[in-house]
Amino acid sequence: MKKVSLFIALVVILFAGTTLSAEKSELRISKQYGLAYLPLVILEKKGLIAKHAKTAGLGDIKVEWITFGGGATANDALLSGSVDIISGGNAPFIRLWDKTKGKIRALAALDQSPLVLNSANPNVKTLRDLTDKDKIALPAVKVSIQSLVFQIAVAKEFGVENYDKFDYLTVTLKHPDALIALTSGKSEITGHLAPEPFLTIEQQNSNIHQVFNSYDVFGGRHTTNVISTTEEFYKNNPKLSQVIIDALNEADLWIADNKNEAAKLYLQASKSKEPLEIIEAILNKPEISYQTKPLPNITVFSDFLFNTGAIKTKPQSWKELFFDKVY
């Protein structure tokens, strides 16, 4: 009887060990355009996920990196199972959190960085100057974080009942294409709700000026972008989920101490032709920072989406939006 009990106990232990170690050995992660995704560039170029995975006893991890042009595309990829982890603005993420009833949550924050409405129309000094002649580029009409910031800025100026007053002026364009359109002077695009480095590059042109900054609209800094995944991935890959957060924390610290090298890696990864000193100067701006823990005021975005009927559930705390490892 003792031998049988010992055998059963051994089987249970072996099975438990297999379950605990049976995490994914291949990982598919998406990123987008812009300096907000620099931590992910560092993860890729320095192999930090593989490094931390070995430290955690997960063995060799193969990571596939995919670039999308906007949050809506990333959301669809995660829902279809084409990727394991997606990155993007907090607006499309919050919509996805609501759509899946919390089955998709953020694993970590990526950055704090302002979004700026740049305009090539000299007559547009404030939102009240916009007319039918203006066309504003952003990654996804009505879905992207840029679209949400635009609506919040309009609501602040004209009242929440008029939050979508100028949505008809917005046009879906990837940030690199929007930059080209705005600076060429040969396009219908007169404005771009831009993140870094596009907003700074555009403002190098004397014909382009800032209309508003999202930090001013919100009265301070805010978490702009996050990485998110499914509840199934999180539960089945607890060690790997922690590995990703640990790798991001290392990347964030490395960026803070190595701005010049970080700028070089960004230019290499993005194949951009901007001068190195411009990218490095942007990274040295005090309003730009990278950290995995979100600012609690991310709920300002979800509150607005709830109040305008864009989502059905209102999170009472930022912790409802995030898996608990980032706490």
Residue 280 is given by DSSP the state H
Per-residue pLDDT of 304-327, as tens digits, reads 999 999 999 999 999 999 999 887
> Amino acid letter at 125?
K
Q: Are residues 104 and 233 in the same domain?
A: yes
Q: Are residues 103 and 249 in the same domain?
A: yes
Q: Would you say residue 14 lies in a domain?
A: no
- Residue keyed to tokens 């670039």: 67
Q: Are strands 191-194 and 26-31 parallel, antiparallel or unpaired?
A: unpaired
CB 290 within 8 A of CB 38: yes
CATH of the domain at 59: 3.40.190.10
Q: Are residues 148 and 188 in the same domain?
A: yes
Residue 106 is given by DSSP the state E
Q: Are residues 71 and 150 in the same domain?
A: no
Q: What is the pLDDT of residue 4?
A: 45
Q: Are residues 32 and 160 in the same domain?
A: no
Q: Taking the alpha carbons of 108, 111, 112, 114 in that order, is the dihedral positive or negative?
A: negative
Question: Among residues 184, 201, 218, which one ends one of the domains?
Answer: 218
Q: Would you say residue 228 lies in a domain?
A: yes
Q: What is the pLDDT of residue 123?
A: 97
CB 141 within 8 A of CB 92: no
Q: Are residues 120 and 92 in the same domain?
A: no
C-alpha–C-alpha distance, residues 119 and 99, integer Å: 34
Question: Among residues 187, 218, 249, which one ends one of the domains?
Answer: 218
CB 293 within 8 A of CB 109: yes
- Write out residues in the chain with pLDDT < 70, as ranges: 1-21
Q: Are residues 228 and 301 in the same domain?
A: yes
Count the domains in the chain: 2
Q: Are residues 200 and 288 in the same domain?
A: no
Per-residue pLDDT of 120-178, as tens digits, reads 999 999 999 999 999 999 999 999 999 999 999 999 999 999 999 999 999 999 999 99
Q: What is the pLDDT of residue 141?
A: 94
Q: Are residues 250 and 266 in the same domain?
A: yes
C-alpha–C-alpha distance, residues 323 and 5, integer Å: 38
Number of other residues whose CB lies within 10 A of the CB of residue 53: 26
The answer, yes or no, to whether the previous bond of 197 is cis (omega within 30 of 0) is yes
**Alpha-carbon Rg of the chain, whole angstroms?**
22
pTM of the model: 0.89
Sequence-separated (6 or more) residues with CB below 8 Å from residue 146: 89, 115, 138, 139, 193, 194, 195
Q: Are residues 179 and 134 in the same domain?
A: yes
Number of other residues whose CB lies within 10 A of the CB of residue 227: 25
Question: Among residues 192, 218, 244, which one ends one of the domains?
Answer: 218
Q: Would you say residue 2 lies in a domain?
A: no
Q: Would you say residue 305 lies in a domain?
A: yes
Q: Are residues 128 and 177 in the same domain?
A: yes
Per the structure, the complete domain to which residue 140 belongs is given by 116-218
Q: Are residues 257 and 206 in the same domain?
A: no
